[in-house]
Structure 1
Amino acid sequence: MGFSVGLAGTRCIGTLCPPRPRPFQSLLLLLWTLLNCVLGSSAQGPGEWTPWGSWSHCSSSCGRGVSVRSRRCIRLPGEEPCWESGHEYRVCQLPDCPPGAVPFRDLQCALYNGHPVLGTQKTYQWIPFHGAPNQCDLNCLAEGHAFYHSFGRVLDGTPCSPGAQGLCVAGRCLSAGCDGVLGSGALEDRCGRCGGANDSCLFVQRVFRDAGAFAGYWNVTLIPEGARHIRVAHRSRNHLALMGVDGHYVLNGNWEVSPPGTYEAAGTRVVYSRAAAPQETLHAAGPTSQDLLLQILLQEPNPGIQFEFWLPRERYGPFQVQTQALGWPVRQPQPREVEARAPIAPPPLMPTLAPDPCPPCPDTRGRAHRLLHYCGSDFVFQARVVGRHRQAQETRYEVHIQLIYKSRWPLRTREYVWAPAHCPCPPLASQQEYLMAVRRLISPDGTQDRLLLPHAGYARPWSPAEDSRIRLAARRCPV
């Protein structure tokens, strides 16, 4: 929306100018204009966005496409441009294209068939070429020839490559977040809520250590309906078994060992793997559409079965009641006793945070170190550590963010911060507040989006003095 100058030097928005004022009103209007100019000349900060407009029609007539909505930046002289973008794109899904339909990129290349290009009168037949560096350019190969030509950008909504989920928008390949908006980076939390903070579900993590007296099937736990991110692991010659509510086994039932692979159960896929260590694991993304019963086919003393999943809060109470009823007798008892062997305690698959002795961390004090990490980070914030978990050679901290000093992307109230190595430096204590400078790390395939605290990075116990130091660093390294 633009500004123009009307009567008495007043500014008009668009073409809407006030009527000619009377003498007394003219004086008031002049004073208002002068005051507004003085204030406008010292205005700071960004302008303001108008509300979002409505979504446009889908860019495609079938299959996947994009829809766009826009907003405009309103700013006075002296104000900075609005932050963020004035356009937002989302995926629109229409009915599948009929069999034999020409792909969208092929249609765009075909528009140049029979037309002179390259400054000559010679014409060619064009087909898509997918080996060029920028996959969102309209790169077309001349049929029967060994060259291709770029005709500029592809139209918005063109798939980045055959079979890919990303779509091209304004010359960039973007993937949709869980909110359907391209490039938003919105992710589902562990509870399945888009952009959530893991506060609508509870994390269940236990170790089943009961040792049965006889070989056979023993109940471990009920995996209730609605469970997500299920993980089960153990290291022994025993075998995990999974049973549905109908009493039929999904795997390893009736004394038959199933091959490793993917199994359909309770509306989700269960990935069963077995190593020669011996070691067995079960993984399932969920959510489960009905209850599952996890059992162990006991052949030797049980060294411990570790299981975990996320469960909606409203289902946790019934789950506790049901698990108390799992003290059922052996389903298929055998007359022979389990051989009593001297148990060899294997290293736990999901170790707790009782780490081996760690060497001292390097000295990272000083203003130069603070400036280096503040300027090179994507986020700087004050946060309380509410939990930590060691996973393989990494440590995952769950933090409650209280104050943000620097942020290149939106942050949730609760986030996970990952620290590399078996002994992270600096170490963070639970229930303590820190000032942290972290980076955003996205894996090349886009499947992981993490906040990383670098080794020997910046993490200081919060104090008023530390707050002052970080604010001084902010002046030297503006966002």
Structure 2
Amino acid sequence: MESNREVCSELWCLSKSNRCITNSIPAAEGTLCQTHTIDKGWCYKRVCVPFGSRPEGVDGAWGPWTPWGDCSRTCGGGVSSSSRHCDSPRPTIGGKYCLGERRRHRSCNTDDCPPGSQDFREVQCSEFDSIPFRGKFYTWKTYRGGGVKACSLTCLAEGFNFYTERAAAVVDGTPCRPDTVDICVSGECKHVGCDRVLGSDLREDKCRVCGGDGSACETIEGVFSPASPGAGYEEVVWIPKGSIHIFIQDLNLSLSHLALKGDQESLLLEGMPGTPQPHRLSLAGTTFQLRPGPNQTQSLEALGPINASLIVMVLAHTELPALRYRFNAPITRDALPPYSWHYAPWTKCSAQCAGGSQVQAVECRNQLDSSAVAPHHCSAHSKLPKRQRACNTEPCPPDHAHPSWRPAMALPARRSGPPLTGRRSATPSHLCPSHSYSAGQDLGTGCPLRYRPTSVVTSPFR
């Protein structure tokens, strides 16, 4: 047996072997009891109260919050938590339980991770490489296909055609999806602002600037119609590094004819893999998604930003509009294209005197090494105008001979007399502008070849 004081919270009985036993359950309501303050009482909701009374219950109240715990991540937006208990006081005799959250969370370490850091889900999957799965070891990678919970850790066995859930919940602070800033907390996807703070209402503008006004980028869009169908790939548009909200839609052909080329002329994508929709493709630091559109069209979309410039190319067979494109390009010096228009050196003056002209043509150059490239690499919208200027505007010297010379003329028949002296040229001095001559000089040796007279005769005049 036991004291009446304890019977209301836990009933003990004497077994046939004279042993005290209990099922750890309270005595039934109305069981007689006694305490040091109550001579005669009965059990009511595990408490001994005066016989015949039904006291009011005591509602529970929250105790103090515990200190904030460690951050779940060292960078990229982690989560710290704190908890409290409904024990100040505990609810008794039918009192109400505490209302509100027993656990609270706050954001921490919201700075970007260093460039080249491993994806947080990938890190979590790789931790299972050393844990056998059905008796074998595998190298686990993040599974990003459909049909799985956003906040479960689902991993793909590398080199094998299966994936499995390795943990019911990812670590707090793991992004719910690659294209969102929302994060997983206690296995549920929670909204965060663009500042990576839980519960924040701060939003990105069209340039993906947190709380920005949209002035850091410009929207580039257009429809491309092939100029030479059937002649191979044609360049559609250049998408600079840092561009976001990229949208490329086919209009009259399959995106299997689409290609993406990098800054270094390397082909990053040629045609879309024949996989079920939707298809995800990691490229240029972001995830491109192939989505079905209206009228059996397809679109290739990426949130961005891309970490390298891309050149969109298409292989078309008709002159019909082939692609529609749209993206937001950054307005910064870093976003300058790898090719730009530059002025070539001035041409030689067209005349040596009396006013000539010079022309300064425009050529497309590679900004990395300043080498000239084909004009189609540069944007036609930003082409510089050709320049022209006057040159050698001084008047030409008048046509005249040396003072001791006279113009050549038809010579009369030679008469008898002393030999003629003095060799004269039929070529005026201004035809050899860079040379000066004196009487008696042999023009055949002093004048450049292109200015030499065809013949030299002896003049009878002095």
* TM range, smaller chain: 0.3 to 0.5
Could you say which structure has the larger radius of gyration? 2
Q: Which has the higher helix share?
A: 1
TM-score by length of 1: 0.33
Q: Which has the higher strand share?
A: 1
